[in-house]
């Protein structure tokens, strides 16, 4: 039985006389253990009980699995844990069953074996959407099978290693980064037949597996492969859905970064913001928060040894006027003395809940809660921004000068 954790629920296959074997979920209580959906309505099973076929993976808070609704054969499905949210992702084989099996997660994608009725059993990949569910490569051209149900795989350095047969070299060790061009034979280990790699394992960043290198050699033995490190070669940065402006007061924008090469060993990165004529802060998760009007440059820097960066410019407008603001129309906030060499006081008609001090690079350097007077004598001379949050979560940005 394959169990997967999604949010705070466990999903599993269970059989009942009225529904057959279907997808169930539990929160660990009797009342919270229920069927998710009767996919194959009636007593027939929607989920196979074969351990070589039944497998689950999770991406983007969705459970990905193979299921048979009794009409389309075993195809690729997903669920968010609700009946309505349990749907087929794609009818891969519209004229029969795709025989979905062997799900394996790599990054934000799930690889699996499927037969579309044209190319035989081959390696596929999905991001959980219909458009994002595609064949990786027709390894054994035409209708011949490139992969069997029982293929074994391992993820090393953000790449998937597996056994496949291209119709010429027999079943040998292959690798993919999720693209057709990045899917290739690693080595024809048994030049006279099938190497049949099995028990593939990521052992401390090195691929370890058993393989038969031929009857005139050693037969089935334990092998290892030192996977080469692939560095990032480019990063494309943009706002979510291509947005490059923030036009609402105290608005935010989710920044996104697409990292290449597809098989890069380490695709992680750090966010920074460089203030130009405007100012903003950016969180570790890429949420950009506007401070003042103008432009800022958002940069994603690769964490590997490549030194690659990607950047884009965001334009901010309609923010609060900065400086010494008295009788603010929204909050009636005043600040004095400003400039200051030490203590500073903020006054508002509403209770001040917090004051965040931000430097010109967008970094938060101090946070004061439930107080309107504090000492900044230890800060270097320069220009800062104070973000004042009052009762009810209203906020305003003001310029603060340390002399």
**The predicted structure's pLDDT at residue 225:** 93
Gyration radius (Cα) of the chain, Å: 28
What does the pLDDT read at residue 321? 46
Least confident of 149-163, 271-285, 289-303, 340-354: 149-163
With 0.85 as the threshold, say if the pTM is over it.
no
Q: Look at residue 288 in the predicted model and tell me its pLDDT.
A: 93
> Which of 227-241, 275-289, 354-368 has the weakest average pLDDT?
354-368
| Angle at CA of residue 223, ends 218 and 227, nearest 5° | 145
Decide which of 316, 342, 367 is a domain's last residue: 316
Quick one: average pLDDT of 107-136?
A: 94
- Nearest to 402, CA basis, from 386, 388, 382, 387: 382
User: Would you say 78 and 87 are in contact if contact means Cβ atoms under 8 Å apart?
Assistant: yes
- The CATH code of the domain that includes 367 is 2.60.40.1220
Number of neighbouring beta carbons within 10 Å of residue 262: 16
Q: Average pLDDT, stretch 331-356?
A: 86
Is residue 149 scored above 60 in pLDDT? no
pLDDT band at 151 (very low <50, low <70, confident <90, very high): low
326 within some domain: no
Domain span holding position 292: 234-316
| Residues in CB range of 12: below 8 A, 6 or more apart | 1, 2, 3, 23, 24, 25, 26
Domain edge (last residue) among 288, 316, 344: 316
Distance in angstroms (rounded) separating the CA atoms of residues 166 and 206: 25
Q: Single out the residue in 316, 351, 377 at which a domain terminates.
A: 316
Return the CATH number at 284.
Answer: 2.60.40.1080
pLDDT at residue number 107: 85
What is the reported pLDDT for 143?
82
> Which residues partner with 311 through β-bridges?
299
Position 325 scores a pLDDT of 38
On whether both 175 and 132 belong to a single domain, the answer is: yes
Q: Say if residue 2's pLDDT is above 70.
A: no
Share of the chain above pLDDT 90, in %: 50
| Total domains present in the chain | 3
Beta bridge partners of 159: 156
Same domain, 158 and 277: no
Is the four-CA dihedral 315, 316, 318, 324 of positive or negative sign?
Answer: negative
Asked whether residue 173 is assigned to any structural domain, the reply reads: yes
Residue 324 located in a structural domain: no
pLDDT at position 229: 85
């Amino acid at each position: 039985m394959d169990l997967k954790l999604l949010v705070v629920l466990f999903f599993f296959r269970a059989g009942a006389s009225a529904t057959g074997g279907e997808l169930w979920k539990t929160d660990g209580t009797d009342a919270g253990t229920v069927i998710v959906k009767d996919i194959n309505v009636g007593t027939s099973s929607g989920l196979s009980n074969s351990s070589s076929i039944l497998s689950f993976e999770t991406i983007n808070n969705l459970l990905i699995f193979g299921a048979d609704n009794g009409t389309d054969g075993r195809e690729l499905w997903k669920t968010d844990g609700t009946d309505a949210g349990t749907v087929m992702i794609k009818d891969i084989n519209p004229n029969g069953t795709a025989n979905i099996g062997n799900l394996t997660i790599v990054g934000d994608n799930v690889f699996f074996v499927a037969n579309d009725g044209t190319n035989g059993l081959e390696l596929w990949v999905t991001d959980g959407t219909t458009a994002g569910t595609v064949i990786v490569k027709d390894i054994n051209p035409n209708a011949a099978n490139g992969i069997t149900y029982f293929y074994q795989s391992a993820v090393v350095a953000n790449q998937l290693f597996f056994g496949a047969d291209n119709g010429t070299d027999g079943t040998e060790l292959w690798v993919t980064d999720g693209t057709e061009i990045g899917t290739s034979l690693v080595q024809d280990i048994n030049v006279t037949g099938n190497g049949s790699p099995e028990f593939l394992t990521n052992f401390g960043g090195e691929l370890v597996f058993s393989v038969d290198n031929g009857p005139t050699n050693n037969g089935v033995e334990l092998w290892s492969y030192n996977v080469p490190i692939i560095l990032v070669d480019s990063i494309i940065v943009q706002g979510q859905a291509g947005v490059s402006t923030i036009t609402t007061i105290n608005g935010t924008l989710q920044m996104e970064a697409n990292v290449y090469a597809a098989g890069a060993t380490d695709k992680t990165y750090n966010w920074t913001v460089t203030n130009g004529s405007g100012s903003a802060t950016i969180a570790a998760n890429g949420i950009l928060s506007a401070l003042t009007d103008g432009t800022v440059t958002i940069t994603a820097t690769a964490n590997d040894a490549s030194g690659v960066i990607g950047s884009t410019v965001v334009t901010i407008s309609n923010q609060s006027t900065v400086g010494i603001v008295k009788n603010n129309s929204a909050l009636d906030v005043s600040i004095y003395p400003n400039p200051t060499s030490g203590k500073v006081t903020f006054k508002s008609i509403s209770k001040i809940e917090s004051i965040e001090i931000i430097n010109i690079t967008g970094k938060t350097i101090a946070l004061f809660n439930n107080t309107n007077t504090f000492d900044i004598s230890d800060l270097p001379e320069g220009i800062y921004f104070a973000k004042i949050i009052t009762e009810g979560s209203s906020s305003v940005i003001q310029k603060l000068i340390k002399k």
